Amino acid sequence: MGLLAGLIGAGLAILPAIEEATLTLTPVHAAGASFERYSVVSVPIPGKAPEHSLFRLRVAASHVWLDGARLGPNEDGDFDLLNLHPKRPSRVTVPGWVKQALLIETPRVFVSRYEIGDRSTRLWVRNSLENTVNVFATVTGANGAAREQSATVPPGSTQVLELLPAPGLTFVSAATAPWSIVLEKQEEAMEGGYRFMKIVTESAGPTVNTSVNR
């Protein structure tokens, strides 16, 4: 296990690191011909090619329209914005008047949810690509204790990883916050390899899509 951890650590050192990026958007309130209320959210032009990033909108609604196409929520309650226009801001229409929306950008393979406890650590790893990917996940506490696990995640699916304790320090969740979540995604045909990183400050779970950038 020590040799494996060393090899993984060496691999992590050369991979590009990507953190979850969030942007708070302020909707514009409007009313239709029949006085029905709706909100309009303008999504900025993506800074990266949309096919290499996954953009999600978190807003209090059961459905939205992206440039006229109706979208339902994903399993986490967010709306996947898979067809953002690459050269102009996209328009998202939300039923009713909402105060704010959150735009979340991650790579196409990322941790969508987590549960960190004294006895059990679980990560929900989502693969939004069209091909299978291999990942290696590590959760490390402030005292250096770690839990880790590898997995193969099929295309377009979310897989729950039960992380195993690494040799050494005792992993006690209440005493080791903040935690660092690192998901190493190996290189394959559609995408290169990278590390998806989250810093978790909460002392209780589960928590969905919450991170603090380094």
What does the buried/exposed string (b/e) look like for 39-53 if buried means 16 or more CB atoms within 10 Å of the residue's CB? bebebeebeeebeeb
Q: How many residues does the chain have?
A: 214
- For residue 96, how many C-alpha atoms fall within 13 Å in the half-sphere facing its CB? 9
Q: Is residue 115 in a domain?
A: yes
In the predicted structure, residue 210 carries a pLDDT above the cut 80: no
State whether 113 and 140 are in the same domain: yes
- Token look-up 């679980």 returns 122
Per-residue pLDDT tens digits for 143-154:
888 899 999 999
State whether 179 and 130 are in the same domain: yes
Domains identified in the chain, total number: 2
- Structure-token pair, residue 123: 């990560």
Q: Where does residue 182 rank: exposed (0-12), middle (13-18), buried (19+ CB within 10 A)? A: buried
Per-residue pLDDT tens digits for 165-203:
777 777 777 667 788 899 999 988 878 899 998 888 765
pLDDT reported for residue 53:
85
In the predicted structure, residue 89 carries a pLDDT above the cut 50: yes
Domain span at residue 141 reads 2-18+108-208
- Structure-token pair, residue 114: 């987590």
Per-residue pLDDT tens digits for 21-65:
889 999 999 998 888 999 999 998 876 655 578 899 999 999 999
Q: Is residue 152 in a domain?
A: yes
